[in-house]
Chains A and B, each alone.
Chain A
Amino acid sequence: MYNKRETKYPMPVQDPLVRNQNFKEVALGYDGETAKLEAQRCLNCKNRPCMGGCPVSVRIPEFILKIAEGDFDEAYRIISESSSLPAVCGRVCPQERQCEGACIRGIKGEPVAIGGLERFAADYHFAHANSVGRPLSNGHSVAVVGSGPAGLSCAGELAGMGYEVTVFEALHVAGGVLSYGIPEFRLPKEIVRREVENLKDLGVKIETDSVIGRLYSVEELKTELGFEAVFLGTGAGLPRFMGIKGENAKGVFSANEYLTRANLMMAYEEDSRTPIFRGRRTAVVGGGNVAMDAARTAKRLGAERVFIVYRRGMEELPARKEEVRHAVEEGIELKLLTNPVEVLTDAEKNAVGLKCVEMELGSPDADGRRRPVVKEGSEFTMDVDCIIMALGTSPNPLLRQTSEGLATSKNGGILTDENGMTSLDGVFAGGDAVTGSATVILAMGAGKKAARAIDRYISRSFS
C-alpha cells in the first residue's frame, strides 16, 4: 500500500489573484481519496521522529495509518487523545519546524503532509460525528481565565475528567487569538466556534465580557465564587512598538488593533459599523505570522501595494513557510534587511512615509541568529500612508497589576513551578502568559499539562 511519490499531494487552494480580494479560506483541504493517497506516503517508520517534533506528542504514524485505511473517525480519535484543537492545529502549526521538519520522507523529497492530514481528519469528524456525551460531574469546580488555545485546551481536558469548568473571557467572543488575531482566510471563525461548541457540549460554561483582574480578582474567583483552582491563560496580548519618532501618528497601528478591527469586529464586511483605515500603500513591520496576516488583510482591504519590512533576511523570517509563500503569491512585496527609523508625518500628523535603513547580517548573537547591523549611508524613504507594527507582544499586564503576590519575571511573564502552579496556591498558568508570544500548539500543550496538575492538586487538597 506504500506510496512512493516524492512530493506531497498539493492541497487545492483559491487562486492567488482571486483570494487576495476576498476573506474566504485560502487552503481548501484534501478530499477523502487524496487524503488516503497522501497518508499512504507515510513509511510508518519505527523511530517516529515526527512525534518527537510535536509539542503535544500526537501519535502521528498511527492516525495517518488509520487515514490510509479509510478509518477517518479512528484517526480523529487518536489525534484528539493528545490535541484538543486538531482543526486549528492542522491549519496554524509551523509543521515545517515540528512534525514535518522531522519526517524521514523529507530527506529525499517532501515530508508527508501531516498538517494537511490532521486538518482532514478534524474536518471530516466535524462534518460527520455526533456530539460526545457529557461526562459525569465530579463535583469540583475550576475557573479558567482566557479562552485562547491554552484556556480552551485546559478547560477541555478538565471537563473530560468531570470537572465543572467556567471559562472567563474579556472579549465578547471566545477563542482569544484564534478569534481576534488569526484572519478568516487562514482560520475560518466557524472552526473556532465549533471547537468552542464542542467544549460547551462537555459542560464547559463560557462567560464572555468578563475581565478578570477588574470584575473579579484572581483571589475573588476562589473566595467569592468558590472555585477550587484557577488556570490563567491570559496570553501575551500587549503589543510592542519600536519607539521611533512619529509612531503615534494617524495611520500607524499595532497589528493587534488592525487585525482585531478586521477579524473580531469584522470590519471587512460591508455592513460592519467598525471603522478601519484603508491605506493606499501599507508597510507591515515584522516577519512573523502576524505580520503576514496583517499584510494579507491590508491587501484584501484594497491597498494598492503592501510591503513586509523585516530587518533580517528570507532565511530568518519567523513566519510559517506556507504563509510567506501565500503572501508572495498574493502580491505582498518583501522588503528584507530593512529597518524603519522614523515615521514621516504631515502637518495633521498623518503618516506619509516610512524612513528606513538597509541592514546587513553581522556575527551571531546570544540566541545564535545573525545580528542585523545598519549599512552606513543607506537611508531611504518608503512612500506609504499606513504602517502596521507586528513586532511581537508581551504578556498582558492586567493580572500582574491586580493580583497581589503573583510572581512574574522581568519581562512580565507569570512564573510557575514544574507543575504550572504560580506563586499563588491553587492558581496555575500556561501558554503565552508564561512564555511570552509563542505558538498555538505550545499554549495548548501547556493548558493540557496544567489541567493534569490541577486534577492532582484538587484530589490532594479537596478530597
Chain B
Amino acid sequence: MIEVEAPRIAQKALAGQFIILRVDEAGERIPLTIAWTDRERGAVAVIFQVVGGTTMALNEKRAGDFLADFVGPLGNPTEVGNVKRAVVVGGGVGCAVALPVARRLRESGAKVTSVIGFRSREFVILEEEFRACSDEAIVTTDDGSYGIQGNVCVPLRRLAEEEQIDAVYTSGPLVMMKFVAEATKPFNIRTIASMNPIMIDGTGMCGCCRVTVGGEMKFACVDGPDFDAHLIDFDEAISRNRSYLAFEAGEREKHCNLFKKEGK
C-alpha cells in the first residue's frame, strides 16, 4: 500500500475509480484502484501486488519519494443506486477496490455484509477497515488458517439462501469473480464485477482493456470498470490478462539480478 499526495485527484475520486501511474521516466503505465482518499490531506491510497518490474520498483519507494506520473481519477464511479441490502465480495488485493464500495453503500443507507477472501492468514488485509464500514464482515482463507475455510462463495451462498439481497459487488481475481457470478446467478441477484484488465492510457484509446459483456465489446476504462458479472466473458478476460506473463517473469528476474549486483 502506498499513499500519494495528489490533492486534485483526492478532491474528485469516487468509489470504484482507479488511477494510472508510472514509477519513473522509463516505466510502463499501470492501472491501480483507489483504496481510499483523504481530501483534507490531499492523499490518495493505492494497494498493489508485486507481479512485474513496475510493481517491484514501486515497492521500493519510501516515504517522501516521487512518482513520475499519477493520473486520475479514471473509470466510472460505482453506482450504488437505491440498494438496501448489499454484499461486497473482495479477494486478495481486490479488497482495495471493494472497501470504498462498501463505505459508499453504507453511507447511502444500505445494510452491508462484506466477505473478504485470502489465500491464508498472512495475506489478510484491511480487515479492520471492512469491519468499521460493514454491518457484518466475514473473512475466509483457502487453507482455513483464519476465518472460514474455503472461498468467498461459501458464506456468499449461505447469505443468499438466508435473505433477500439487492446487489452483490465483487472485485478481486478474475477466477474468483467468475465463481461469485456463478454463485449468485441461481438466486438472480444483480452482481457487479469491477474489472482490472491490462490497460495503457485509461481514456479509451488503446483498446487493450476490451472485455466482452453480453456478446458486445466494451472498454473497461471508459465503459467500466464495473460490468454486469452475469454477462462478462470471464474465460476470455482470464486469457487476455495472461498476455504478458512471460515478459513479467523476465522482468522480475532482471530486476532481481540488478538487485543482487547492487547488494555486492
Residues in chain A within 8 A of chain B (CB atoms)? 170-172, 180, 208-211, 214-216, 237-239, 241, 243, 247-250, 253-254, 256-257, 260-261, 265-266, 269, 271-275, 277, 348-349, 396-398, 401
| A215-B73 contact in complex given A172-B68, A238-B205, C-beta closer than 8 Å | yes
CB atoms of A271 and B204 under 8 A apart: no
* Residue ID in chain B nearest A249 by CB atoms: B239
Contacting A254 at CB < 8 Å: which of B27, B29, B208?
Answer: B208
Task: Name the residue among A216, A248, A271, A397 with the largest chain B CB count within 10 angstroms.
Answer: A248
| A256-B68 contact in complex given A215-B9, A273-B251, A349-B239, C-beta closer than 8 Å | no
CA A211 to CA B70, docked complex, whole Å: 11
What are 16 A-B residue pairs whose CB atoms fall within 8 Å in the complex? Answer: A208-B69, A211-B202, A215-B8, A238-B205, A248-B236, A253-B207, A260-B200, A265-B28, A265-B200, A274-B28, A349-B240, A396-B204, A397-B204, A397-B222, A398-B204, A398-B222
Residues in chain B within 8 A of chain A (CB atoms)? 8-9, 12, 17, 22, 26-29, 52-54, 68-74, 200-208, 210, 212, 217, 219, 222, 236, 239-240, 242-244, 247-248, 251
CA A265 to CA B24, docked complex, whole Å: 12
CB atoms of B28 and A237 under 8 A apart: no
| A237-B22 contact in complex given A215-B9, A398-B222, C-beta closer than 8 Å | no
CA A277 to CA B208, docked complex, whole Å: 12
- Which residues on the A side are within 8 Å of B206 (C-beta)? 239, 254, 256-257, 260
CB atoms of A215 and B239 under 8 A apart: no
- Which residues on the B side are within 8 Å of A250 (C-beta)? 239-240, 242-243
Q: Which applies to chain B's interface (DSSP): helix, strand, loop or mixed?
A: mixed
| A211-B240 contact in complex given A172-B22, A237-B205, C-beta closer than 8 Å | no
* Residue ID in chain B nearest A258 by CB atoms: B206
| A273-B217 contact in complex given A209-B70, A215-B9, A248-B210, C-beta closer than 8 Å | no
CB atoms of B239 and A170 under 8 A apart: no
| A256-B205 contact in complex given A250-B243, A273-B28, A273-B54, C-beta closer than 8 Å | yes
Contacting A260 at CB < 8 Å: which of B26, B54, B201, B212?
Answer: B201
CB atoms of A211 and B207 under 8 A apart: no
CA A397 to CA B201, docked complex, whole Å: 14
CA A170 to CA B69, docked complex, whole Å: 11
* Residue ID in chain B nearest A176 by CB atoms: B205
Contacting B207 at CB < 8 Å: which of A215, A241, A401?
Answer: A241
